[in-house]
Structure 1
Amino acid sequence: MQKIKLITLLLTMVLVGCNEANKTKTIKIAHGLNIEHSVHKAMVEMGKDLEKRSGGKMKLQIYPSQQLGSERECLELLQIGSLDMTKVSVGVMENFAPKMKVFGVPFLFRDRQHSFDVLDGPVGKEILDDGEQYWLKGLGYYDAGSRSFYTKEKPINTPEDLKGLKVRVMESVTAMDMVKALGGSATPISWGELYTSLQQGVVDGAENNPPSFYLSRHYEVCKYYSLDEHTVLPDVLVIGTETWNKLSAQEKEWLQASVDKSVVYQRTLWAEAEAEALREVEKAGVTIIRPDKTLFQEKVKSIYKGYENDKVINSLINQILESN
């Protein structure tokens, strides 16, 4: 009798082990953009690649359009383990990973390729790792283009045109400092509330990249888009360390490889989306302005000086400016 019980117990343990081994691990990932955005499309491809790469042992479950909250709220969910992954702008991430403040420094990169070289190199990796002390691990950077000003009532041709205007910014100290240096009044408002805030005159304008301007339909309210391209604020894919630490070495390898592949794919989608966005908003009656960027660069020199006493950020600024 005792022998039968022992055999039964061993069989049960084997069956449980098999079930656990065959169990699919689902990674929940949330973001604030709609399903037409390149970020969402890249995540869909990431999910397909992860499922294929892991032989069905891992998959993504995507929650778009702020279903689980704002970018900041998603980061907080990651910290407590209620959500596994998210995509946030580095402008929001800087509140959790101080080194990411460097991306808010205006006119830091010479061009798009320069930004990719930095992000994919050792400096980008150093910045990506900075959030781990706050239970947030960066896995890679998505392209979010360059941010420029769009306004309701008047075009922005020079920094002087920003004087007296309330400009929506993210919850980012560097973004607020930049708008202030250019003469505007920085007003932090969540992305989800911005369309209504523009309509109601809570703010006179905002700043963002072309696809976000287009897909948010902000062009219906703001008819001037000034391509000063003041900052390159990439998006960052983040996983909570609580989730990351529960993954096996093999699972981590699968996930990182799928993230890396999606980064390349998303950047291609982004370039296409950016060109399309500019065409479509112009068709919708938006006046696109290409101002003299040097006028804006002169005005923000104070921001560079402001970081001279911050050894960490100042070092990162110099490394980026001096990189090939």
Structure 2
Amino acid sequence: MKFRLFVYPILVLFMFGCAQKDVKVLKLAHGLDVNHSVHKAMVKMGEDLNRISGGKMTIEVYPSQQLGTERECLELLQIGSLDMTKVSVGVMENFAPKMKVLGLPFIFRDRQHSFNVLDSDIGQQLLDEGRQYRLKGLAYYDAGSRSFYTKEKPVETPADLEGMKIRVMESITAMDMVRSLGGSPTPISWGELYTSLQQGVVDGAENNPPSFYLSRHYEVCKYYVLDEHTTLPDVLVIGTQSWDVLTEQEQNWVKEATDLSVPYQRKLWAESEKEALDAVIEAGVEVIKPDKNKFMDKVDGIFDAYKDDEEFYEIIQRIRNTK
């Protein structure tokens, strides 16, 4: 009897350990706060994947740059040290050049137009663009529209940007846009931006309302100008090394869970945008709605620069012609 009492717990632990090994875990890292709609959508995606697969697959989410910046996470995907990540299209364009079309200023007429493009064959074509760089795009998450926020004075017209150092992502398109508007683009990682704003390394930055709020940048920058120059989506990416070892059934499970997370995230995003704007106004931020036409006129030259690239310019035209 004593032998049975001793062996049984060991047998249970052994069986539990084997069961745990049977679960395929995908590691997903990103740089956002746990209160962000994208993080919440990823948590739901993991829950859905576990349910759809009957407990055979799950996702472990590592938020807040625990495993590195967006660029570093993409590099980890390429060598197979990380399975999945979320990055802005602005960062992804360094690995999949045609994606920079989505970061062109005022390329989208409004939010619905952006959804119509991203959910079309144009969006899928651009997701597939990263595969040759060992990065497979799975889906787009709504990241709203990006606008300028500054410390000392509001940017109500492009002339106000003259001489100002504006933080941008590591994106050629974003840098070209700020230059065309008269500012001085300064690439800085998201995790270092709060301190850079405090210390005067940059005079301002540009991002969407929830990111402005959740990062607490509103504590330093008291002017937020809703020029909405770019409507830059986030991209959910899986490394091809991780994707290609999955069975066809496992790939279908991941895709189904991903597809379920997209409308869920978009709903959360719409709610978080309003909450963020209300919160920063309450904290003393002056929110200004400028004449967007003044900004649009200054960036026309960016589009002209692509006319010689027939393949890329065709994508621009297809986006413009999408209803």
Q: Same fold (TM over 0.5)?
A: yes
- 1:163 equivalent to 2:162? Answer yes
Structure 2 counterpart of 1:304: 303
- 1:59 equivalent to 2:65? Answer no
Structure-to-structure mapping, 1:1-324, within 5 angstroms: 23-324=22-323
2-structure distance, mates of 1:278, 1:34: 17
**1:96 Cα deviation after fit:** 0.4
Report the AA paired with residue 186 of structure 2.
T
Q: SS in structure 1 opposite 2:65?
A: coil
2-structure distance, mates of 1:40, 1:72: 18
| RMSD of aligned residue pairs (Cα, Å) | 1.3
Question: Percent same amino acid among aligned pairs?
Answer: 68
**1:312 Cα deviation after fit:** 2.5
Report the AA paired with residue 147 of structure 1.
R
2-structure distance, mates of 1:151, 1:21: 50
TM-superposition CA deviations, 1:33-62 (whole Å, max 9, x none): 111111110011001100000000000001
2-structure distance, mates of 1:22, 1:149: 48
TM superposition outliers: structure 1 runs of 4+ over 4 Å: 19-22
Q: SS in structure 2 opposite 1:150?
A: strand
**1:103 Cα deviation after fit:** 1.2
Say whether the 8 Å CA contact 1:101–1:313 is kept in structure 2: no
**1:315 Cα deviation after fit:** 1.0
1-structure distance, mates of 2:300, 2:223: 26
TM-superposition CA deviations, 1:262-314 (whole Å, max 9, x none): 01100000000000000000000000010000000000001010111122221
1-structure distance, mates of 2:188, 2:54: 43
1-structure distance, mates of 2:113, 2:80: 35
Q: SS in structure 2 opposite 1:100?
A: helix
2-structure distance, mates of 1:162, 1:104: 20
2-structure distance, mates of 1:184, 1:314: 26
**1:128 Cα deviation after fit:** 0.6
Structure 2 counterpart of 1:3: none
1-structure distance, mates of 2:318, 2:282: 41
**1:175 Cα deviation after fit:** 0.2
Q: How many residues align?
A: 307
2-structure distance, mates of 1:148, 1:291: 11
Structure 1, unmatched stretches of 5+, are 1-15
**1:71 Cα deviation after fit:** 0.2
- Tell me: CA distance 1:213–1:123, structure 2 relative to 1, closer, same or farther (3 Å): same
TM-superposition CA deviations, 1:237-271 (whole Å, max 9, x none): 00000000000000000000100100110000000
TM-superposition CA deviations, 1:97-151 (whole Å, max 9, x none): 0111101210011111110010011000000100000000000000000000000
Report the AA paired with residue 129 of structure 1.
D
TM-superposition CA deviations, 1:205-243 (whole Å, max 9, x none): 000000000000000000000000000110000000000
Q: SS in structure 2 opposite 1:69?
A: coil
Q: SS in structure 2 opposite 1:265?
A: helix
2-structure distance, mates of 1:30, 1:121: 27
2-structure distance, mates of 1:85, 1:278: 30
**1:20 Cα deviation after fit:** 8.7
